A and B are shown apart, each in its own frame.
Chain A
Amino acid sequence: MSDPGEEGKREAAGHGATPEPDTEFSIAQSNALLPLLLIAALTVLVLLVVTVRSRPVIPPVGAPADKAYSPKDFPEVFKALDALAVKDTGPELARASFPVPPPPFTEGMFPCMSCHESIPPNAERRPLEAMHADIVFEHDAEHRWCLDCHDVTDRNQLRLANGTLVPFTESYRLCGQCHGTQFRDWRTGIHGKRTGYWDGPKRYLLCVHCHNPHSPRFAALAPLPPPVRPQFLAAGDAAAVQGAAAPPAGEETGHGAQTH
């Protein structure tokens, strides 16, 4: 003991009013029991942990990923895919340098001049109220407005900064004025999407097919449902294989049908 004085003090305190000497005495007596007790306590602890942790975490029926979905559950998604498919390798794609599908006009909006022919052009910057009020403009709204891109006299075309008029099918030239790196990547197929043939004619999507030009941040979309969890895997016709443990996932489609 490096400090016998303190040790002695503590002992003195122990021998005082408290029944601590008894405790010390009993521990010394049960020297053989101590390891046994320890082992028993450890065993109980291990068993407890094992029972708690090893219980399979089975999400209740109705939780996500309890049903196997098939592509036929989402016909609208694949209708869009089939519309994009490039079937003909012929003249349509060979003509243009960047063949694109028709721009995504709102129904009945194009040609713009069918209305604007009779409306005197007004180049004053102002919020639109009578028409086009539904357009949410979040494209550098502080600095830009309609006539920075739309031509004031020929509304059927777009207007580059240098005054060149370009049709809506070449709107990438307009976007590329500011977004040069994206335009560079788009031309080589790194940015944006191309369909068709990796070794042949390709159809490009215009910038505006994915980015609303008036509010270009890519809009969040609903995901298709997750893969079925393994415990629900063969829930359909293989219920017999899994016995009563297989939940009746075939009937419990409510959740998925509502969400998706």
Chain B
Amino acid sequence: MAHRPTDVPAVDGSAEERAQPAAVLRRRDFLTAIGVAAAGYLAGCSDEVREAFFRNHFLELSPQEVEARLRRLRDTYGARYGKNVDMSAVAARPGVVFGYALDLSRCVGCRRCVYACVRENNQSRDPQIQWIRVLEMEKDKGIDFAEANPYYDPERVPEEHHFYLPVACQQCRQPQCTMVCPVQATWQEPDGIVAIDYDWCIGCRCCMAACPYGARHFNWGDPHVPADEINPDMHVLGNRPRLRGVVEKCTFCVQRVRDGRYPACVEICPVGARKFGNLMDPEGEISLILEQKRVFVLKAELNTQPKFYYFYGT
């Protein structure tokens, strides 16, 4: 030790402790005081704050705790938006794996799906977040992400010599995003939907770096959705309003599809290019498309094994 005079022989710890002035706050006392203060604060505050403080990972919640969280969210959003919020946590059905197919020979790039998705999933209007991005590409060049243009804005679509490739979360079977998440705030559900626990996400954005499809979006600012535009039909892992500093992405409209309904983008597509169904159902449209049409996935070489297929219907 540099501060100890060299002529004083080294003494044991207790001697050193005794040598210190008595008025100094000792570490042990300090930590104890902090602990007592924190315990006192938590004992005095409401159940809601206590729940938020000691909340657990979504997958580790007991049914009662899930119910408590749903109740809390229902109350919070109900008060904030002045609406009767239907907050559910419906689990995946056994024997169902969702698949999606998009007919590139039909898509005209009208972006109806983008805004239907924003409306259904309560995406922030300002700052703008859109889960679907439609890329305009040249037929001569084929699928070339470097040359793709998401900002096309002609009078009419489709434009000659162009085709359109809408990209959202590909719901990979090997989701890189879930593998890099340091807190496991994102995972793959049994029905194949890659979900995010917005309460657990720490906003490190590792998943965004890992996703090869640019499908994940970060709330850099406070997300803003006007109260009269809120969709009150919510799922706790899906379209409930997000917080600043968390990542969000397409969930195949989990609040709709676990009810048996089609996703919002499927229902609005004016050309019927979007197809959705159960991959495990041999009579379902996705199985038939995989069987009968020319199908491919984006960036197959990365072995992410998406459940979002592109096909040519003609």
Residues of A within 8 A of B (CB): 64-65, 68-72, 74, 77-78, 81, 84-85, 185, 188-200, 205, 210, 218, 220-229, 233-234, 236-238, 241, 259
Contacts and interface: CB of A to CB of B under 8 A. Distances in A.
A227 B130 contact: yes
B205 interface: no
B270 interface: yes
20 contacts: A64-B153, A68-B126, A69-B115, A71-B119, A77-B268, A81-B268, A185-B313, A189-B277, A189-B285, A190-B285, A190-B293, A191-B313, A195-B267, A197-B262, A198-B277, A205-B272, A221-B157, A224-B114, A227-B128, A233-B127
B153 A238 contact: no
B142 interface: no
A233 B128 contact: yes
Contacts of A228: 128
A198 B271 contact: no
A124 B110 CA distance: 42
Given A71-B229, A223-B111, A226-B152, A199 B278 contact: yes
Given A198-B260, A223-B157, A74 B151 contact: no
Contacts of B115: 69-71, 74, 77-78, 224
B108 A192 contact: no
B275 A189 contact: yes
B262 A220 contact: no
Nearest to A235: B126
B118 A81 contact: no
B125 interface: yes
Contacts of A199: 260, 278
B168 interface: no
A196 B262 contact: yes
A235 to B, nearest CB: 8
Contact of A220 (B133, B158, B277): B158
B267 A190 contact: no
A69 B123 CA distance: 12
Interface residues on B, range: 35 or more
B260 A71 contact: no
A72 B225 CA distance: 11
Contacts of A77: 112, 115, 268
A81 to B, nearest CB: 5
Given A190-B293, A198-B260, A223-B111, A238 B127 contact: yes
A77 B110 CA distance: 11
B262 A195 contact: yes
A78 B116 contact: yes
Given A188-B288, A238-B221, A198 B278 contact: yes
A196 B257 CA distance: 10
A192 B272 contact: yes
Contacts of A238: 127, 221
B232 interface: no
A193 B157 contact: no
B220 interface: yes
Contact of B292 (A190, A193, A196, A218): A190
A12 to B, nearest CB: 56
> Which 8 A-B residue pairings sit nearest by Cβ, starting from the closest?
A193-B272, A68-B128, A71-B119, A64-B153, A189-B285, A220-B156, A224-B111, A236-B126
A198 B276 contact: yes
Contact of B112 (A70, A72, A218, A224): A224
A234 B267 CA distance: 30
Given A77-B112, A190-B288, A221 B156 contact: yes
Interface in B258-283: 260-262, 264, 266-272, 275-278
Contact of A197 (B150, B261, B288): B261
Contact of B257 (A68, A198, A218, A241): A198
B284 interface: yes
A78 B275 contact: no
Given A71-B118, A238-B221, A198 B262 contact: yes
A65 B153 contact: yes
A4 B267 CA distance: 84
A199 B95 CA distance: 12
